[in-house]
Chains A and B, each alone.
Chain A
Amino acid sequence: MHLTIDGKYIECREGETILQAARKNCIDIPTLCYHPMLEPEGRCRACLVEANGKIVTSCDTAVQGGMHIITDSEKLRRMRRDAVDLIASSVSPETIKEENELTDAMKKAGLEKPSFKNYKKLAKDNSSNAVWRNNNRCIACGRCVQSCSSVQSVDAITFAGRSNEMQVEGVEGEPLAKTACVSCGQCSLVCPTNAITEASEVKKVEKALKEKGKLKVVQIAPSVRVSLGECLGMEPGRIVTGKIVAALKKAGFDVVFDTNFSADLTIVEESNEFVERVKGGKTPLFTSCCPAWIDFCCQFYPEFIPKISTAKSPQQMMGAMIKTFYAGKRGIRPGKITSVSVMPCTAKKKEARLKQMRASGVQDIDFVLTTRELAMLFKKKGIGLEKMSESEFDDPLGESTGAGAIFGVTGGVMEAALRTAYFLIEGKELEDINLKMTRGTKGLKEFEIEIKGEKFRAAVAHGLANARLLLERIKKGEHFHFVEVRACPGGCIGGGGQPKLTDWGKISARAEAIYAVDSGKGQRKSHENAAVKKAYAEFLGKPGSEKAKGLLHRSYPEKGKAE
């Protein structure tokens, strides 16, 4: 099929939109509400073009063969500028003083400042300790509502009221913390104007870094090393592990540990649990590393709570190990350590504050920064990541295998766990440890694996709407032995705390980088991690021991979100 855009002859595919056809050919049309991972809703009207003489929105108009499209005319430029002007006029002045998608659209439209006076004076909603909302910045693009509803099937937020009084609100007008919100932060990931952000802890961390007499320890999650670069001008999928370690030291941290270590630890504990459950006929086992998924399950499917692994998430295992095992080694009290984690996630902020995450007697993790926040911290401190030399993680919680690395991607926890579970049940290693059936961006992946003559059914879901479909099937009687669920599309590499403007192309680039980290490792199975073995020998005993249970496992509420 062919059409012309501004006189240029262009090939296009049936079912494509005008916007997609134009962008493929490097013809830029400004957009504001359009997001490549969501359905176009045509709310902002900034992407107006002329198709066969009619003004249409390019984001939701399908191409037709022989169509004549004009994107660049005096009239269209004026209309798009006016449309952006109306939107820019509706937000608080601070919104248009920073770099975001709105100011980018203003620049493209040639609009220096809005023509009308801003009128919104709305209360902020900082009730959640994962996600904050400020409707004074909101342009009602609808991305967050669609994300919460269609992608996550949580429906915590929606539009309330009408006309210019229409606002995104918690359902029943409740503050976010009192809604069904699972803290996944996908809303903040897609928000074009930072009307929804992570509950910011940058200032707190800056302050903590200046505090004297405390040991400042930080850990970074598997997926942060393949995404942080994007916030700082690097190409998607760039692996910057060593540079982050060096930069964190420069920022004032004394010790940098690797969450990949505790991911290995998680796998050892969880695989052990899986083997026990198989013996006791208590499958399925659901993974527990994603706190947003746990909140989802506890609220919407409480009948499955006993099926969730009791293993803590890697963040919390590391948190417990730092303030007990490591504190002991250093001979200091847990209260003398400031423990920070850098996560791709907003839900981890809430998880760190759960009442039971105090294995050391004090809060195990003091502060959680998202990938975006770490980039902000580096920018504030004038630390140029690109120019940093590479440094190594510190001992003894810095060593990891490839299995820990793939925690960052959908299917990764399943793959890592099966590498170890196979060994535990079969008594020998997998022939090919690259379990390709766990990989890829398909929303729901199902497969069978034979271990010691027995067939095991497994399923991997990412995006909570996909998880819901799976859970409904299980509810109706389908059986799986092992189920991995991750709230965010793509897994943690598509997490709510990841760089903005995330799309499937970037998620795939990050996934490839993660698998490159895995295949680049000498050890690729968690049970081979020497540092993990040492920690068991010196401190924890054996997997599933009383001590391991006390430090590395958790409990769940009977129904409703954990507090």
Chain B
Amino acid sequence: MAGKKILLNELGLEQKRKGFVSKEKLKEIASKACVPESEAFSAATFYSFLSLEKRAKHSVLVCNCPSEQLKGSEKILGFLEKRLKVKRGNATKDKKFYLGETSCIGLCDKAPAMLVDGKPHAKVTIEKTKEILGKLK
């Protein structure tokens, strides 16, 4: 146990640093965490927030849980699709934005909500969405 790294934490840090986890890095992290490479790979492919390939620069994930849908998350998604000219589940051509849905992010009391580069935004409106997008370089 002593000195052993937690695989998931290390993968998460790398994802935050680089926006993805490369094969070489995955190998390195697996050995640091004393997890066989095959297991580490299998685990890494499981989580929604981890990516083994370079994704877009910014990720915009709109929460699609039932409470959010009741509060109009679909409208926000529709707006984003139009504004970014990309269908959900895809990255924009310039690889600047990835637009997707996410399962409940625990902000149902402040719906609709979204995660932008991992940061939560609650009670978003179309106006607020424009503002958030504007701040992303």
A residues near B (Cβ < 8 Å) are 149, 155-162, 171-173
A149 contacts B38, CB within 8 Å?
yes
Q: Can you name the residue of chain A whose Cβ is closest to the Cβ of B26? A: A172
**Which of B39-47, B60-68, B88-96 makes up part of the contact surface?**
B39-47
- A157 contacts which chain B residues (CB < 8 A)? 38
Contact of A172 among B39, B41, B46 (CB under 8 A): B41
Contact of B46 among A149, A155, A156, A162 (CB under 8 A): A162
B37 contacts A172, CB within 8 Å?
yes
Contact of A158 among B23, B41, B52 (CB under 8 A): B41
Contact of A173 among B36, B39, B46, B52 (CB under 8 A): B52
- B26 contacts which chain A residues (CB < 8 A)? 172
Which residues of B (10-63) have their CB < 8 Å from a CB of A? 23, 26, 36-39, 41-42, 45-46, 52
Beyond the given pairs A149-B38, A171-B41, A173-B52, 5 more chain A to chain B contacts, judged by CB atoms under 8 angstroms and listed by A's residue number, are A155-B37, A158-B42, A160-B42, A160-B45, A162-B45
A161 CB to closest chain B CB (Å) equals 5
- 11 contacts across the A-B interface (CB closer than 8 A): A155-B36, A156-B38, A158-B41, A158-B42, A160-B41, A160-B42, A161-B45, A162-B45, A171-B38, A171-B41, A172-B41
For the A-B complex, the count of residue pairs with Cβ-Cβ distances under 8 Å equals 29
A158 contacts B46, CB within 8 Å?
no
B52 contacts A155, CB within 8 Å?
no
A149 CB to closest chain B CB (Å) equals 7
- A173 contacts which chain B residues (CB < 8 A)? 41, 45, 52
A161 contacts B46, CB within 8 Å?
yes
Docked Cα-Cα span, A171 to B38, in Å, equals: 5
Docked Cα-Cα span, A156 to B38, in Å, equals: 7
Given known A155-B36, A155-B37, contact A172–B23 (CB-CB < 8 A): yes
- A172 contacts which chain B residues (CB < 8 A)? 23, 26, 37, 41
Q: Nearest 3 A-B pairs (CB), nearest first?
A: A155-B38, A160-B45, A158-B42
Docked Cα-Cα span, A129 to B56, in Å, equals: 37
Docked Cα-Cα span, A173 to B39, in Å, equals: 12
Q: Which of B36, B37, B38, B42 neighbours the largest number of chain A CB atoms within 10 Å of its CB?
A: B38
B33 CB to closest chain A CB (Å) equals 16
B9 CB to closest chain A CB (Å) equals 20
B34 CB to closest chain A CB (Å) equals 15
Q: Can you name the residue of chain A whose Cβ is closest to the Cβ of B53? A: A173
Docked Cα-Cα span, A162 to B49, in Å, equals: 13
Docked Cα-Cα span, A149 to B37, in Å, equals: 12
Contact of B38 among A158, A161, A162 (CB under 8 A): A158
Docked Cα-Cα span, A149 to B26, in Å, equals: 19
Docked Cα-Cα span, A149 to B23, in Å, equals: 20
- B45 contacts which chain A residues (CB < 8 A)? 160-162, 173
Docked Cα-Cα span, A206 to B45, in Å, equals: 42
Contact of B37 among A159, A161, A162, A171 (CB under 8 A): A171
B14 CB to closest chain A CB (Å) equals 15
- B37 contacts which chain A residues (CB < 8 A)? 155, 171-172
- A161 contacts which chain B residues (CB < 8 A)? 45-46
- B23 contacts which chain A residues (CB < 8 A)? 172
Q: Can you name the residue of chain A whose Cβ is closest to the Cβ of B45? A: A160
B6 CB to closest chain A CB (Å) equals 20
Docked Cα-Cα span, A155 to B38, in Å, equals: 6
- A171 contacts which chain B residues (CB < 8 A)? 37-38, 41
B26 CB to closest chain A CB (Å) equals 7
- B46 contacts which chain A residues (CB < 8 A)? 161-162
B67 CB to closest chain A CB (Å) equals 22
Docked Cα-Cα span, A92 to B96, in Å, equals: 37
Docked Cα-Cα span, A172 to B40, in Å, equals: 9
Docked Cα-Cα span, A160 to B50, in Å, equals: 13
A462 CB to closest chain B CB (Å) equals 22
Q: Which of B36, B41, B46 neighbours the largest number of chain A CB atoms within 10 Å of its CB?
A: B41
Docked Cα-Cα span, A157 to B38, in Å, equals: 7
Q: Can you name the residue of chain B whose Cβ is closest to the Cβ of A149? A: B38
B87 CB to closest chain A CB (Å) equals 18
Docked Cα-Cα span, A173 to B27, in Å, equals: 13
B43 CB to closest chain A CB (Å) equals 10
- B39 contacts which chain A residues (CB < 8 A)? 155, 158
- A149 contacts which chain B residues (CB < 8 A)? 38
